Structures are given as C-alpha cells and as structure tokens.
Amino acid sequence: MTGSAIEVRELTRLYRRKGKPELRALDSVALTVPRGEVHGLLGPNGAGKTTLCRVLSTVLLPSSGEAAVLGRDVVRQAEEVKRLIGIVFGGDRGLYPRLTGRQNLDMWASLYGLRRRARRVRVAELLERMGLSERAEERVQTYSRGMKQRLHLARGLVCDPGVLLLDEPTVGMDPVAAHDFRELVRELRTGGHTVLLTTHDMAEAAALSDRVSFLDNGRLTLTASPEAVGDVVSSHERLEVRALPAALRARVAALPAVAAVTAVDGDTTRIETETPEAVRAVLLLLVEEGITDIARTRPSLEEVYLHLVGGRGMAVGG
Amino acid sequence: MRAPRTGKAAKAAWGRLGAAAVAVRQGAVVTVEDFRAYYTWRSWLGGWLVRLLCQVLFFSQLAALVGDSGYAVHVVLGASLLVGVLQAMQGISTTVRDILLGTLPLLAASPVRPGWFFLGRSLCWPVSGVVSSSIVLLALSPFFGASWTAVQVPLVLLLVLLTTLATYCTALVLGAVALLVPMANNLLSALGTMAVTVLSGAITPVHFWPGPVQAVAETIPVTHGLSALLLLESDAGLGPTAHAAGRAALAGLCWLVLSLVAYRLLFNRARRGGSLLT
Ligand SMILES: Nc1ncnc2c1ncn2[C@@H]1O[C@H](COP(=O)(O)OP(=O)(O)O)[C@@H](O)[C@H]1O
Ligand SMILES: [Mg+2]
C-alpha cells in the first residue's frame, strides 16, 4: 500500500448547507494511483474533483474514509503530506499580484523550508522551465492568463513534490496557452512525477493520462485507459445543422454509422456519428444539397461515459 | 537517556522558531509590495505625513482653546500616538485581502503557520505608524506645552514603538475573526478603530467611563502606552512609567498569543467546514 502514490478508500466528504440537507460531494470514493502515473480525473462541474484535490492536499478534512499520499495519512500525518504534495488550482487566483514572478516563487520556496542558496537555484530553474525567465522581474498583475498558470505550476513544483495535483489547470486559458501548458505536463510525465489531473475536457485527459477515472456526483464510477476515451472522442462527432429539410433528414439518418438524428431546438438538428468516415459522408451529402450552416462539436462527457459503460457492459455480456 | 531527548526537543523548538521567523519574513515581503502600491517616499512624506500633522495640529489646537494647558498636552500626545495606532489597525483587513486573492487554500496546504505569516503580512502599516507617530509627536508636542529632555526622547520613541506594535497584535486578532465572518470585515475595522480611539483615553480620560467600559479599555494597549507617555512627560519618575509601559507590553503579548491561537483554530475549523478555503 505504501507503494502507491495516492491511496483513497471509502472517502466521503459532506458539506453542511444552511437550511438544506448535507451535500455529499464525495461518496465512498476509492482510487489508487501508482507512483509515476499521470492519472486523469474526469468529471463535469460539481462532480467533486476539487473536493478530492483539497482533501488530498490537507486543505479539507474527510468526513469519513481514508486518504494517503505516499503512504502518509492526510489527517494523521498532515504535516508530512504537505511537504510531499504540490498543488495547482485552476484559475488565475492564488498569486500575489504585486509581487514579481520570481518573488512569488521565492516566497513559497522559503515557506516550504528551502534555504537561500537552494532557493535561488530552484526558482531560477523553474522560471526557465516554464518559459518565464524573461518576465521574472515583472509584477504578476501584468502577466497573461497562461503565464499566471505556468507560474502556478512552477509554484506547485517548488518543493519538489512526489505527487502533483493539477485541478483543472487549463480552465479559462486560450487554446494556444492551454496547448503550451499541456506540453509542460507531458514533460512532467517523462520526468517521472506522479500527477493527478482533474479536467472536464476529455481530449485533455486522453492526451495526457496513463489512466482515466470518471467522477460523477461524488461517485468514482469507472477507471479506463485513455485510448478508450480517446477512441470515443475522436470517432464520435456531432454535427449541428440549421434548417435541414425533412426529406434530407431521412436520407442522413439512413447513412451507415450515423448513430442518431435529433431535433435540438427550433430549426437545429443534431447528427451524431460513430466513425470519421460517417462524418465525411454526412458532410458531403449536406454540402451537395446546398446546406452550409453546419457546426462540428465534440460529444459531451456524459455521452462518452455512457458509451464506455455501455461498451463494457456489452463486452461482459459477450 | 535524558540529554539526547532534551537535545532533540531543543532542536525541534529551534526549528519551529526558525520556521516562524521565515513565515513572518515572507509575509513581510508581501506587505512591502502592497505598501509600495499605496505610497512612494514622496507621497508618504508630502501627502500622508502632512495630512497626519494637520490632523493632530487641529485636535491639539482645539484642546488648547477649550481646556487648560494640561489637557492640551494630553491631547497632543494622545492624538500623536493614535496616528501610529490607527495605521496599525490596518492589520485587520489583511486576511480578507488574502481571501479575495485566493491564497488561503495554498497557505493551508503549505507547512506555514498562518498566524506567523499574517503577523508579517501587514507589518508595513505599524512600521509606517511608528515612524509617522514619532515625527508628529516630537514635532508638535513642544508647541502645546510638552517638554522632553535629551534622555526622554529615546524613551518616547520606545513607547511609540511598543504601543503601535502591541496595537498591531490586537488588529491581528480582529483579522482572524474576519476569517470567521469575512462579510463583517469593515464593521470589525470600524468598531476596532472606534474602540481604540474613544476608549484609550486619547481624547477622553479613561476614568470618565463607567466600570465595565474601563475594564475593556484596560485590554487596549494604547490605554497603557498613553499613560506611560503622560507619566514620562510629567516627570513622574521611571518606576510608574515603566509600570505602565509593562502593562502595555503585557497587553500586546496577550493579543499576540491570542492571534496565533486564533489563526490556528480558525484554519482548522475551515478544514472541517470548507467554505473559507475554496
Ligand atoms: N464549501 C462548500 N459548501 C457547500 N457545498 C460545496 C462547497 N464546495 C463545493 N460544494 C459543492 O460540492 C460539489 C462538488 O464541488 P467541487 O468539488 O467543487 O466539484 P468540481 O471541482 O468537480 O466542479 C458541488 O455540488 C458543489 O456545489
Ligand atoms: Mg473544480
């Protein structure tokens, strides 16, 4: 058991609310993350991802059950756990905006007990790695969202933690910044860090993780390979079409590998496909018929989840 | 058997003390940058200090008009002391600033003792308070009948320092209470400031108040700091002055201990509850 980086058993966390029953943000969650794994924790908003990260980082106490980081209990050995874990919460809060990037890092390095010389080396190295060296002497309030998030990542790494918790780190970033950030996480992975990455973006989880778990409504329901998730995400696509005539609609539905054709609202129709070929076929047909008001979207988390559970169910049945 | 164990305990105590010093220092790094956002040297001297001088001048002038010369001395010393004290009270809103910045969960996840960190986190305010208070006091009090010998001047500075820092510790406790009810932060600031101004005897002598209010006044470091200052000015002798100064220091120490305990308890409470650390 001490072999795992993260070990969670029967973990439940309740929140008291005024005038309402207690909210069960985590419900008997069990999760084991071996050392060196990048584990994606997928879940929609309100699933309990942040709550789990906060329990693991000693910021919140569990209501019942147990959680351990590198063999240390997060309640009984909290002081030890604090030094083993690095946390990066999404969003651009949590930095001192009037301090420079270097000052922010130096401050936390110092609070984590690094001596002056070790600190200087570590901070310079992290700034370099995150591509922030050039702006290191500028106040954080002048940083872009992406830079702040990279600084957050550097902050999380300042104590050289055995386990890194990334809680929706790319939320609110523009695509380029998010891409750069994912590259940094990928480097961590090759560096042998254990990472728990929470996200509601399946493509992100699939691209970065060794394994993926689904959290929904406080329950951890399924652990899958990222390939399984990736397959569903890349093969399943949705097209949303405006003003599709009924006759054409029937022809689209008749195409092979078109899973569903449903009216969404007003004059919008959603077409769900199961293979890339099907997407092409549908698009060809629509364009031929002069329909161009088409949007491509990815399947929702729930859809992928249902598909994976359904797929597994079939495999078990067969 | 005994020696190694005490050796270990001593080492652990040193370690804790070292960590506390680091926490205060790092908190102070933040306060310096915060303070710089408010003031430059020029605006501090040319704007802030001048404003404070005018304020104290106004109250002292008023006191000289309505009261005897003793009352004028009392008011000029009291108002000058309040100059620093009221700046130290800024410590109340520090924690709320960190709530807004979203740094509390990160602090809670780190090994830092929040009480020590927040002790450093607003330190610029009492420091600015000590400097401005001293300047105002030494510049204005001679015009309203106070006289200081060369030996007394360093003692005056010491008393200003002591009173301001002790008040800062009171502010830290109120800041910790603001963790409990962040919405009440402004109210706490207002009440704290008012209590210190009205009850400490700076304008109205403490014996004017009914017994229970006097008891509250006794817990305010300024009450004793001002007594000490007045005793020093009236050449009452080192004994009584030192006694009053000691009471101010004791009050400050109590507030300091209380603040360290309060931060610890309230952070633990937040771990159970959750809303503060999100
Ligand atoms: N401090 C709190 N008090 C009450 N309810 C909370 C608190 N924090 C989170 N919740 C609720 O707990 C659930 C899980 O929240 P969270 O862990 O933040 O989910 P996620 O990070 O997956 O979006 C949500 O329904 C949320 O509203
Ligand atoms: Mg969240």
Interface of B with A in 139-158 (CB under 8 A): none
Query: Does B25 lie at the interface with A, CB-CB under 8 angstroms?
Result: yes
- Partner residue facing A111 (CB), from B36, B37, B112: B112
Instruction: Kindly state whether residue B62 falls inside one of the protein's structural domains.
Output: yes
Sheet with A85-89, strands from edge to edge, namely A85-89, A163-167, A194-199, A38-42, A211-216, A219-224
Q: Are residues A238 and A221 in the same domain?
A: no
The beta-carbon neighbor of A107 closest among B29, B34, B275 is: B29
In this prediction the pTM is 0.85
Token pair recorded at residue A92: 């651009």
**Residue A316: pLDDT band with limits 50, 70, 90:** very low
Pairwise CB contact (< 8 Å): A93 & B102: yes
Report pLDDT for A261: 86
**Nearest neighbour of B277 by CB, restricted to A54, A83, A91:** A54
Hey, are the CB atoms on B26 and A107 less than 8 Å from each other? yes
Greater model confidence, A293 or B172: B172
Q: Which atom of ligand 1 is nearest to the CA of B278?
A: 1
List of residues 6+ apart from A249 with CB closer than 8 A: A261, A269
**How do residues B227-275 score in pLDDT, each as one tens digit?**
999 999 888 888 999 999 999 999 999 999 999 999 999 999 999 887 7
Q: Tell me which amino acid residue A122 is.
A: R
CA distances for B94 relative to A283, B60, B175, angstroms: 59, 32, 7
Contact map slice: B 102-121 vs A, CB within 8 A: 102-103, 105-106, 108-112, 117
Q: Residue B100's closest chain A neighbor by CA?
A: A93
Q: Which domain holds residue A284?
A: 234-298
CB pairs under 8 A between A and B: 84
Alpha helix positions (H), chain B: 2-38, 41-43, 50-66, 69-88, 94-101, 104-109, 114-121, 124-140, 152-180, 185-199, 211-219, 221-233, 238-273
Distance, CA of A192 to CA of A6 (rounded, Å): 15
CA distance to A33, A64, A81, B233, B236, per residue, from A75 (Å): 19, 11, 9, 56, 57
The torsion defined by the Cα of B50, B51, B54 and B60, in degrees rounded to 10, comes to: -120
Establish if B234 belongs to a structural domain. Answer: yes
Q: What residues does A14 pair with on adjacent strands?
A: A24
Question: Do residues A78 and A124 share a domain?
Answer: yes
The pLDDT > 70 percentage for chain A reads 91
Region for residue A103 given its phi and psi (left: phi exceeds 0; alpha: psi -120 to 50; beta: otherwise):
alpha
Q: pLDDT at residue B218 above 80? A: yes
Asked if residues B252 and B228 have their Cβ atoms less than 8 Å apart, the reply is no
pLDDT digits (tens, 9 = 90+) for A41-88: 988 888 999 999 999 999 999 999 999 999 999 999 999 999 999 999
Residue A278 lies in a domain: yes
> Does residue B63 contact residue B80 with C-beta atoms inside 8 Å?
no
Note the pLDDT tens digit of each residue in A81-92. 999 999 998 777
- Percent of the residues in chain A that have a pLDDT greater than 90, as a whole number: 45
Per-residue pLDDT band for A11 (boundaries 50, 70, 90) equals very high
pLDDT at A237: 76
Residues A18 and A143 in one domain: yes
Around ion ligand 2, which residues have CB less than 5 A away?
A 49-50
Ligand 1 neighbours, Cβ below 6 Å, are A 15, 17, 23, 25, 43, 45-51; B 274-275, 278
Give nearest CA residue, ligand 1 atom 26.
Answer: A46
A315 assigned to some structural domain: no
CA B272 to ligand 1 centroid distance, Å:
14
Q: Which atom of ligand 1 is nearest to the CA of A43?
A: 22
Q: Which residue of A has its CA nearest to B267?
A: A59
State whether A17 and A101 are in the same domain: yes
Q: How far is it, in rounded angstroms, from Cα A295 to Cα A264?
A: 13
Domain with A275 in it: what CATH number? 3.30.70.920
Note the pLDDT of residue A193: 85
Average pLDDT across chain B, whole number: 89
Provide the domain count of chain A.
2
Q: How many CB atoms lie within 10 A of CB B154?
A: 10
A96–B103 CB contact, under 8 Å: yes
Q: Taking CB atoms and an 8 Å cutoff, what residues of chain A touch B103?
A: 93-96
Q: Are residues A184 and A45 in the same domain?
A: yes
Q: Which of A173, A202, A229 is the last residue of a domain?
A: A229
Contacts of B25 in chain A (CB under 8 A): 110
Q: What ipTM is given for this predicted complex?
A: 0.88
Look at residue B201 and tell me if it is in a domain.
yes
- Whether A154 and A130 have beta carbons less than 8 Å apart is answered as yes
Atom 4, ligand 1: residue with shortest CA distance: A15
Q: Which ligand is nearest to the CA of A48?
A: 1
Quote the crossing angle between the two packed helices B211-219 and B238-273, to the nearest 10°: 80
Is there a domain that residue A311 lies in? no
What pLDDT, on the 0 to 100 scale, is given for residue A98?
Answer: 94
Asked if B189 contacts B89 with a C-beta cutoff of 8 angstroms, the reply is yes
User: Does one domain contain both A46 and A190?
Assistant: yes
| Domain housing B32 | 18-273
Is the confidence at residue A317, as pLDDT, over 70?
no
The answer to whether the Cβ–Cβ distance between B29 and A112 falls below 8 Å is no
Which residue's CA is minimally distant from atom 6 of ligand 1?
A15
Per the domain annotation, does A317 fall within a domain?
no
**How far is the C-alpha of A188 from the C-alpha of A201, rounded, in Å?**
19
The answer to whether residue A79 neighbours chain B at the CB level (below 8 Å) is: yes
Using pLDDT thresholds of 50, 70 and 90, give the confidence band for residue A1: very low
Of B22, B101, B277, the CB nearest to A96: B101
pLDDT surpasses 90 at A291: no
Structure confidence by residue, pLDDT tens digits, A192-208: 789 999 998 887 888 88
Residue B9 within any structural domain of the chain: no
Cα–Cα distance, A282 to A31 (Å, whole number): 41
Per-residue pLDDT of A206-232, as tens digits, reads 888 888 898 888 998 877 777 776 676
* Whether residue A223 is found in the same domain as residue A242: no
User: Which B residues, 2 through 21, put their C-beta within 8 Å of a C-beta on chain A?
Assistant: 19
Chain A residue whose CA is closest to B108? A59
Inside any domain, residue B86: yes
Among residues A173, A195, A229, the one where a domain terminates is A229
Quote the number of domains for chain B: 1
- The dihedral of CA A91, A96, A101, A105: what is its sign? negative
